[in-house]
Homo-oligomer: A and B are copies of this chain.
């Protein structure tokens, strides 16, 4: 039981693009209770590809290959796989007709070189590509069985080749992986169905990874699940997977939700903190205004990445200069002079000002010291203030993140503001639970 990955491409070895398909395969395998044994990156070179395939084909197993399926002369994957397995490359007339039809449909003539995309090592099964033009293919190695009457007696590997374009690779892998794993003998279909345990991806913000680990290890059913955390600063994706104990998985999931509470903002690989914030606003029938100083527009940017943000977001006033705080939001000059721009008093005036001039039902404001300059003894670099203004009044607090560079600090402050909006929109207590 062995799965390996080979990425083919000179561009990956010249520092022009970064290999990322291996991580996609690794994640899908881990979700299935399997493990990727090795990744190799090799150049667009016939000998290098053939040699890697020969070295890696330890049956039974699955060799996943990405790249080198394009129509140009430096795309060698078909030839190298055919050579390694010992079969010729042949044209698949059905695929060729499909390619021609595809070009005809958009009113273009197919360049002869594109016909190469219909060529495969003899005996291959074609892997449909719903995301681009070049299909993939899978081929058993060795192709010729020593015991012709009972090929199952001979251990063999399956070589499965996909285009290297990340979007196409990821889409096709999701479409074909389970069947390929079963066929490769890595796992039979029954085992695979059993191995395909339930898994949930929880999206979190508001707790350091080490603290989260401490909380989780203290839960009664901690040992009943397989757990992975994938930090994508300043958020965490926490994956919990079922083991043999289905009831234990359900219990651990419930315990995790209870223990981490509001810090879990959503679920799945495609959710975002901003989307969860907008959902909370919409659930409460609220509109939002933002006043940013230190975050410089990042809160607005995160919110407007979500389609439909305009239903909630009315205005984001990035009042970077003190004069803009006064002119646009009506923050009194005296307040700026007496408390300084980075103060809870100014944050509250900003939130109230932007709520007033936008007519939004809920407003959030940020002001802080991003650095590298501007810190003082009482308010060092990293200090910031948040204020929320809504129908219940105005609340504020002063917080600090130290030791982060400017860019990371902006991100964690912007996400802190999103968390504050979400909590306020959901009507939760202003301060996080202890």
A412 to chain B, nearest CB (A): 14
Given contacts A16-B230, A30-B15, A39-B19, contact A315 B324 (CB under 8 A): yes
Cα distance, A310 to B410, chains bound together (Å): 14
Q: Given B22, B301, B373, which contacts A301 in the complex, CB threshold below 8 Å? A: B301
Determine the chain B residues whose CB is within 8 A of the CB of A19 once the complex forms.
Answer: 19, 22-23, 39
Interface presence of A296 (CB below 8 A): yes
When each residue 288-300 of chain A gets 1 if its CB lies under 8 Å from chain B and 0 otherwise, what string results? 0010100111111
In residues 221-253 of chain A, which contact B (Cβ within 8 Å)? 228-230
Cα distance, A328 to B314, chains bound together (Å): 11
Interface presence of A303 (CB below 8 A): yes
Given contacts A317-B318, A406-B307, contact A13 B41 (CB under 8 A): no
Asked if residues B310 and A321 are in contact (CB atoms below 8 Å), the reply is yes
A75 to chain B, nearest CB (A): 19
CB-CB nearest in chain B for A287: B321
Cα distance, A16 to B239, chains bound together (Å): 10
A290 to chain B, nearest CB (A): 8
Interface presence of A38 (CB below 8 A): yes
In residues 171-210 of chain A, which contact B (Cβ within 8 Å)? none
Determine the chain B residues whose CB is within 8 A of the CB of A100 once the complex forms.
Answer: none
Which of A228, A320, A327 has the most C-beta atoms of chain B within 10 angstroms of its own C-beta? Answer: A320
Given contacts A19-B22, A307-B372, contact A38 B41 (CB under 8 A): yes
Interface presence of A14 (CB below 8 A): yes
When each residue 391-423 of chain A gets 1 if its CB lies under 8 Å from chain B and 0 otherwise, what string results? 000000000000000110010000000000000
Cα distance, A361 to B37, chains bound together (Å): 60
Asked if residues B42 and A41 are in contact (CB atoms below 8 Å), the reply is no
Interface presence of A85 (CB below 8 A): no
Asked if residues B324 and A358 are in contact (CB atoms below 8 Å), the reply is yes
A residues with CB within 8 A of B: 12-20, 22-30, 35-43, 48, 55, 228-230, 290, 292, 295-301, 303-305, 307, 309-310, 313-321, 323-324, 327-328, 357-359, 370-373, 406-407, 410
Determine the chain B residues whose CB is within 8 A of the CB of A40 once the complex forms.
Answer: 38-41
A37 to chain B, nearest CB (A): 7
Asked if residues A357 and B372 are in contact (CB atoms below 8 Å), the reply is no
Q: Given B20, B30, B327, which contacts A14 in the complex, CB threshold below 8 Å? A: B30
Asked if residues A320 and B328 are in contact (CB atoms below 8 Å), the reply is no
Given contacts A22-B19, A317-B317, contact A296 B307 (CB under 8 A): no
Given contacts A23-B15, A26-B12, A37-B13, contact A314 B304 (CB under 8 A): no
Cα distance, A320 to B316, chains bound together (Å): 8
How many copies of this kind of chain does the complex include? 2
Determine the chain B residues whose CB is within 8 A of the CB of A22 once the complex forms.
Answer: 12, 19, 41
A239 to chain B, nearest CB (A): 9
Asked if residues B13 and A35 are in contact (CB atoms below 8 Å), the reply is yes
Asked if residues A26 and B39 are in contact (CB atoms below 8 Å), the reply is no
Determine the chain B residues whose CB is within 8 A of the CB of A305 once the complex forms.
Answer: 296, 406-407, 410
Cα distance, A36 to B12, chains bound together (Å): 9
For the complex of A and B, 7 pairs with smallest distance between CB atoms: A297-B300, A296-B304, A15-B27, A297-B297, A316-B318, A39-B41, A15-B26
Cα distance, A324 to B115, chains bound together (Å): 55
Cα distance, A231 to B271, chains bound together (Å): 27
A58 to chain B, nearest CB (A): 12
A4 to chain B, nearest CB (A): 10
Cα distance, A263 to B138, chains bound together (Å): 45
A356 to chain B, nearest CB (A): 10
A288 to chain B, nearest CB (A): 10
CB-CB nearest in chain B for A18: B23
Determine the chain B residues whose CB is within 8 A of the CB of A39 once the complex forms.
Answer: 12-13, 19, 39-41
